[in-house]
């Protein structure tokens, strides 16, 4: 039987974390938005305010509704502020060591019966759960970017995840207005196991001189009806994130088809990480 989730701690106020906080507060949940400093948390809140203001300008939200959503979000720079929440969702950078440290800390400070979820896009849920004393209460809840717009959530059980926890997260996903799908705990789950090799192969097309980035993207947009070309999408995701996921796939499956393209490694080494820094396969104005 699913539990009722009313109080939520979101750890990480970046692009994914503030999006999760926005949809949760919009759905009526009380949210603590946490990051390593209040400055980062405030930056996340400003992004939420900007998104909500755009909805008001489009007539899809009233100013009163906007203020009510914002009133349900509390900022934090200490995860102990979420000691009494019903559930915590980790949305930190896609690095296993960082996530393991966060889950060890959450396990210490959040009440023992609370559910701990990770927004990881590729890392093993079972391994993350194993560093806690409550692996049966740990689950993957992979939101898509941008969170307020995209409907899908991949719900990933670890080896020990209880049925009650799975049912609770499926029900919570629907409460947030999302479409949850059950996915097993394999590297990259479904979304990135399919998407990232396509992006990687598009990068190989550039690396091998098959075509220019804009032409590779044109083929996929006009020939395959994709809304965005794979190289532009890689820039939006972040080339460092793409590389991290490809490395998880390559290591997890030990299959050469997942080998990251050398050009992807070179761009990341050069700091050409995509739209967030103004330069990836394309150049972006600030």
Find all residues with CB under 8 Å of 206, minimum gap 6, and list them: 212, 213, 216, 231, 263, 281
Which residue among 119, 192, 200, 244 is the active-site one? 192
Tell me, yes or no, if 251 is annotated catalytic.
no
Interhelix angle 63-71/15-26, rounded to 10 degrees, is 110
Tell me, yes or no, if 200 is annotated catalytic.
no
**Alpha helices in 208-286, H assignment, sequence order:** 213-218, 224, 230-237, 239-253, 262-269
Which residue among 142, 173, 200, 244 is the active-site one? 142
CA angle 104, 24, 80 (to 5 degrees): 30
3-state secondary structure of 180: strand
Which residue among 121, 122, 173, 200 is the active-site one? 121
Tell me, yes or no, if 121 is annotated catalytic.
yes
Which residue among 154, 173, 200, 244 is the active-site one? 154
Q: What is the Cα 129 distance to its own chain's centre? A: 18
3-state secondary structure of 108: helix
Active site residues: 121, 142, 154, 192
């Amino acid at each position: 039987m699913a539990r009722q989730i009313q109080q939520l701690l979101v750890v990480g106020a970046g692009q994914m974390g503030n999006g999760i906080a926005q949809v949760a507060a919009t759905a009526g949940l009380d949210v603590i938005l946490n990051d390593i400093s209040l400055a980062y948390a405030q930056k996340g809140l400003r992004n939420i305010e900007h998104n909500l203001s755009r909805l008001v300008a489009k007539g899809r939200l009233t100013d009163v509704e906007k203020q009510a959503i914002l009133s349900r979000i509390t900022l934090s720079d200490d995860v102990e502020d979420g000691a009494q929440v019903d559930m915590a969702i980790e949305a930190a950078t896609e690095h296993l060591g960082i996530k393991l440290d966060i889950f060890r800390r959450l396990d210490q400070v959040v009440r023992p019966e609370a559910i701990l979820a990770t927004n990881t896009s590729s890392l093993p849920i079972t391994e993350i759960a194993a560093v806690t004393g409550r692996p049966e209460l740990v689950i993957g809840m992979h939101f898509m970017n941008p969170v307020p717009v995209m409907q899908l959530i991949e719900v990933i059980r670890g080896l020990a995840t209880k049925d009650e926890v799975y049912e609770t997260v499926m029900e919570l996903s629907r409460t947030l207005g999302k479409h949850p799908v059950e996915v097993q705990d394999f590297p990259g789950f479904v979304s990135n196991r399919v998407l990232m090799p396509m992006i990687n192969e598009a990068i190989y097309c550039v690396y091998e001189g098959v075509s220019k980035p804009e032409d590779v993207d044109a083929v996929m947009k006009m020939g395959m009806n994709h809304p965005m070309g794979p190289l532009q999408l890689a820039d939006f995701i972040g080339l460092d994130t793409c590389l991290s996921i490809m490395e998880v796939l390559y290591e997890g499956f030990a299959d050469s088809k997942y080998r990251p393209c050398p050009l992807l490694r070179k761009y990341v080494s050069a700091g050409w990480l995509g739209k967030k820094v103004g330069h990836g396969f394309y150049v972006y104005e600030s």
